[in-house]
């Protein structure tokens, strides 16, 4: 029953209906309903796809002691990350973080750049 409860929680945390989740996987809505009620168990391939979709481990989906998933991203952040046009900004943020540059330093630099661009 662990899987059924966790699938329901993950789906609800994303703000999805059973119908929306089913459509994302090409399933009938009744399939998700059966998974969440514990009347049906997905095969390993489907479990793997669900884990990837929700960015959780298989352990979390099926085991009582599986590690908790990370907190879901707020909708506005998910939307930003999903847009391909924002990829350069995400790549830059990763590079800066890997180099140990703090967010407050980036904000300061951003303010400086804006001031410079207004002087032109």
Where are the domains positioned within the chain? Answer: 2-62, 75-118
pLDDT at residue 4 above 90? yes
Mean pLDDT of 2-28: 92
CATH of domain 2-62: 1.10.260.40
Say if residue 19's pLDDT is above 90. Answer: yes
The angle at the Cα of 47, spanning 54 to 23, to the nearest 5 degrees, equals: 65
The mean pLDDT of 42-46, rounded to a whole number, is 95
């Amino acid at each position: 029953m662990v899987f059924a409860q966790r699938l329901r929680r993950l789906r609800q945390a994303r703000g999805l209906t059973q119908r929306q989740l089913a459509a994302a996987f090409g399933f009938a809505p009744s399939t998700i309903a059966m998974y969440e009620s514990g009347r049906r168990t997905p095969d390993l391939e489907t479990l793997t796809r669900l884990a990837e979709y929700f960015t959780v481990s298989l352990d979390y989906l099926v085991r009582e002691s599986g590690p908790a998933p990370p907190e879901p991203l707020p909708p506005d952040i998910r939307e930003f990350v999903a847009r391909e046009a924002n990829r350069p900004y995400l790549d830059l943020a990763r590079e800066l973080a890997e180099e140990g540059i703090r967010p407050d330093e980036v904000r300061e630099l951003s303010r400086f750049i804006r001031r410079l661009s207004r002087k032109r």
